[in-house]
Amino acid sequence: MAWRTPASSARTRRLALLAVLTAAVGLFFVVEQAPPPPKPTPPPAERVSTSTSRSTTPRRSLPTRTEADLPEVAPPAVSCPLAVIDADTNTLVDDPADILPATLTVALTPPVVPPVTLQVNDQQATFPAETAKRLQQLPFRDGTIYGEDPEVGLVAFTFASGQCTRLQVLVVGPPDPDALRCDIDPELSLVDFRRVVYASGARAGRAISVRPWQGTMVLEDVPEAGDGWVQVVDHPPIPFSWDADGCDTIAPIGTATVTATITNPPDGAPTWIRGCGVTQYLPPGTDSVSFEVPAVPCALEAWRTDGMLRALSPLVTLDPAPNSQESVEITLPEEQMAGLGIQFQTGDAGVTVAGVWPDSPAWHAGLRTGDRIVSVDGESVAGLQDSDFIVLGTGPVGTLAVLVLEDGDGQRETIEVERAPLTGRLN
């Protein structure tokens, strides 16, 4: 890793020289603009007309400089006062040059400009001129812009009146030696990684806590085994998996184009398609969309919103070949989805009612906060994930849900709740 030595004296001398030249030029203009003394006016009788004695030879034209001849002025670079914080001790680092490399490559969040390369010099970090110009033109140029250098840590730029007043780097120390690391293919760059999410199971779609370290991606607080998607700039998501023996190498794979058509699209409402690592939004009046997916076995589903609920389609599985064109049809339910009208918390002993919508089916059936549900339609709900219980509790409008409740003494009661559209709020 290269390190940079302090080199601010030359810049200081140039600034001092520029100040001297500016003062000199200002003095020159003051002298030039002083008005000349008035000439004596001859008596009227002595004036002689010279209109007929002037030469008819045209005056010599002096060469003029055109705009093309003018040197192109580059936008000035922007230097930021540098503050480095050690994430482990939460203390300010006295000499940033001792802990930072000579350059930082920062991916901004959101990615309003491409990754920014900064030169680190003593107590300053400097933007390249063109990047500084683009940052100063942003609508939120007064405020704080966040980013991350994959090899160093989080970065925050603070701007005021278009000038960078502070650049703060949160330097993260090395990970646990036993942490799970995923190698990165040389064709990929960590700065292009947008998000890493779980691909399946109860956590599907949720973010995986990761951090870069020495060219690898470190997984933090993950189960012993699992799979995920790496969302990458300008590329469909990349699948990977891990277990106790290690992690797949994150590498580009082939892609396929999928055209998905929705059956029973909602009137005047949007639709969403999710799966294969991507999410697609279909505006109202649209029932078809084409998009790229990784060429691996995966599944798609669609949904619309019925009040406070989602009406989900059955899963449609895919196994596309690289560079292939696939067409799928995804069917949404014809009936409007309805529910019970409760907020809940799952657990090993059942599902606890945490709140009830006023005037909802659950309210009229007598459910109240604190009740515990042990089964729905004959199926035990002990140990279920939230998504699994939602599937059991929801259904078409007018259908009955048979709930078995249990009190603190172990006494059980069976009630029926007629599902209805949910648009209210919880107590």
273 in any annotated domain: yes
Pairing of strands 143-149, 342-347: unpaired
71 in any annotated domain: no
| pLDDT score for 339 | 92
140 in any annotated domain: yes
Output the tens digit of pLDDT for each of the chain's 427 residues.
333 333 333 333 333 333 333 333 233 323 333 344 455 555 554 444 444 444 455 555 445 545 555 555 555 677 889 888 888 788 888 887 777 888 888 888 777 778 888 888 878 888 877 777 777 676 655 678 888 887 788 888 888 876 788 889 888 777 888 889 999 998 888 778 888 999 988 788 888 988 877 788 889 889 999 999 999 888 889 999 999 889 999 999 999 999 999 999 998 899 999 999 999 999 999 999 999 999 999 999 999 999 888 899 999 999 999 999 999 999 999 989 999 999 999 999 899 999 998 889 999 999 999 999 999 999 999 998 888 898 899 999 999 999 999 987 888 999 999 999 887 554 4
Structure tokens belonging to residue 358: 């006023």
58 in any annotated domain: no
376 in any annotated domain: yes
3 in any annotated domain: no
| pLDDT score for 73 | 57
Do 83 and 150 belong to one domain? Answer: yes
Do 136 and 94 belong to one domain? Answer: yes
Q: How far is CA 378 from CA 193, 319, 375, 399, in A?
A: 45, 36, 6, 15
**Which among 219, 247, 275 is the end of a domain?**
247
Q: Which residues contact 154 (CB under 8 A, 6 or more apart)?
A: 146, 147, 148, 169, 170, 172
247 and 240 in contact (C-beta within 8 Å)? yes
Do 186 and 121 belong to one domain? Answer: no
Do 320 and 368 belong to one domain? Answer: no
82 in any annotated domain: yes
Do 320 and 362 belong to one domain? Answer: no
Sole residue written with tokens 């001129």? 129
Count of the separate structural domains present in the chain: 4
The pTM assigned to this predicted structure is: 0.59
| pLDDT score for 124 | 87
| pLDDT score for 204 | 84
| pLDDT score for 93 | 84
| pLDDT score for 57 | 52
Q: Which residues contact 424 (CB under 8 A, 6 or more apart)?
A: 341, 357, 358, 359, 360
Phi first, then psi, for residue 135 (nearest 5°) are -65, -35
Q: Which domain holds residue 395?
A: 337-418
31 in any annotated domain: no
| pLDDT score for 139 | 65
Q: Which residues contact 225 (CB under 8 A, 6 or more apart)?
A: 241, 242, 243, 244
Closest CA to 294 of 232, 248, 237, 240: 237
Structure tokens belonging to residue 306: 């019925």
| pLDDT score for 270 | 94
Do 366 and 286 belong to one domain? Answer: no
| pLDDT score for 21 | 30
